[in-house]
C-alpha cells in the first residue's frame, strides 16, 4: 500500500491595494501643483462650490498618506472584498473633510477681507491663529484624538460591528471625525499662510503624517504647539510669517503673487 502524503497548499490572497489610497493622494498633489498658475481667488461670493471641490482635493492630498495604513487595516478585517471596503472607508473619511470645507470657506473669506480692508489688523489675526493652534496642540482633546489616529485597533473592532450597506462609509466617517479633531487647528494655519500655499500644504502634510506615524508623534505634536505659540509672538516682528494676512504676496486661494 502506497502512503500518500498530503501537502498543505497555502493560497496567497492578493495584497490589500493600499496603493489605491496613495495613488489618489499622489493624483491630488499633482492636480494641486498643476493648478498653481491659474487658481486665482476662490473666496469671492458665489465661489463656494468651487472652493469645496478644491478643498476636498487638498485634503485628499494632505491627509490620505497618513490614513492609508488605517484604511488597509480596516479592509483586512474581512477576508473578501477588501478593495471595495477600503474605497468606501476612504470615501467616508473624505466626506468629513469635505464638510469641514464649509467653515474653512468662511475663514478664507474672512481672511481675504481682513487682508484687503483692514491690513493693519492682519498681524493680530495671524497671532490669534498661531495661538489657537499652539494652545490646542497642548490640550487633552488633541491627545485623545491623536491617540485614536495612532492606535486605531479599538475603534476598528467597533467599526466591524456596523451593519447595513453604508457601514464602510460610516466607519471611514467616524475615523475622519477623530482625524478632524486631531488636525483642525493645523489646517487653521492655512488661514495665515494661504489656503492654497503649496509649501504650507507640504509642511502641514508632513507634520500630520509624522504625528500619526512616528514613534514620538505625541511629543512632536507638543513641540509643534510650542513652535506655534512662538510664531504667535514672532509675527508681530516678522509679519511675513503670515503672508496671507499681512500682505506678503498671498491672498485667499492664490498660490502665486496676486496679479496687478
Please state whether 174 falls in left (phi above 0), alpha (psi between -120 and 50) or beta.
alpha
Predicted pLDDT at 3: 44
Predicted pLDDT at 160: 73
Write out residues in the chain with pLDDT < 50, as ranges. Answer: 1-14, 38, 40, 249-260
Predicted pLDDT at 42: 62
Please state whether 249 falls in left (phi above 0), alpha (psi between -120 and 50) or beta.
left
Tracing cell 509643534 back to the chain, one arrives at 224
Residues ≥6 apart with Cβ < 8 Å to 23: none
pLDDT in tens, 14-58: 455 678 889 999 999 999 888 765 454 565 555 888 889 989 999
Count Cβ atoms below 10 Å from residue 194 Cβ, excluding itself: 26
Amino acid at each position: 500500500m502506497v502512503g500518500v502524503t498530503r501537502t498543505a497548499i497555502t493560497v496567497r490572497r492578493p495584497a490589500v491595494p493600499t496603493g489605491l489610497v496613495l495613488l489618489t493622494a499622489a493624483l491630488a498633489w499633482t492636480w494641486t501643483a498643476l493648478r498653481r498658475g491659474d487658481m486665482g481667488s476662490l473666496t469671492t461670493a458665489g465661489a463656494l462650490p468651487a472652493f469645496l471641490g478644491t478643498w476636498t482635493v487638498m485634503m485628499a492630498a494632505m491627509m490620505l498618506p497618513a490614513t492609508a495604513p488605517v484604511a488597509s487595516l480596516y479592509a483586512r478585517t474581512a477576508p473578501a472584498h477588501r478593495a471595495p471596503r477600503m474605497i468606501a472607508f476612504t470615501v467616508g473619511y473624505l466626506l468629513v473633510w469635505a464638510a469641514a470645507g464649509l467653515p474653512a470657506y468662511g475663514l478664507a473669506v474672512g481672511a481675504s477681507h481682513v487682508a484687503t480692508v483692514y491690513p493693519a489688523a492682519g498681524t493680530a489675526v495671524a497671532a490669534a491663529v498661531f495661538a489657537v493652534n499652539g494652545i490646542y496642540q497642548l490640550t487633552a482633546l488633541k491627545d485623545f484624538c491623536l491617540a485614536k489616529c495612532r492606535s486605531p485597533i479599538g475603534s476598528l473592532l467597533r467599526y466591524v460591528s456596523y451593519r447595513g450597506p453604508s457601514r464602510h462609509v460610516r466607519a471611514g466617517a467616524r475615523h475622519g471625525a477623530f482625524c478632524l479633531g486631531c488636525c483642525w487647528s493645523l489646517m487653521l494655519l492655512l488661514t495665515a499662510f494661504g489656503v492654497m500655499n503649496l509649501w504650507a500644504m507640504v509642511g502641514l502634510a508632513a507634520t500630520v503624517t509624522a504625528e500619526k506615524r512616528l514613534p514620538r508623534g505625541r511629543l512632536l505634536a507638543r513641540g509643534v504647539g510650542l513652535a506655534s505659540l512662538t510664531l504667535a509672538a514672532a509675527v508681530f516682528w516678522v509679519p511675513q510669517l503670515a503672508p496671507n494676512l499681512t500682505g506678503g504676496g498671498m491672498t485667499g486661494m492664490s498660490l502665486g503673487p496676486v496679479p496687478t
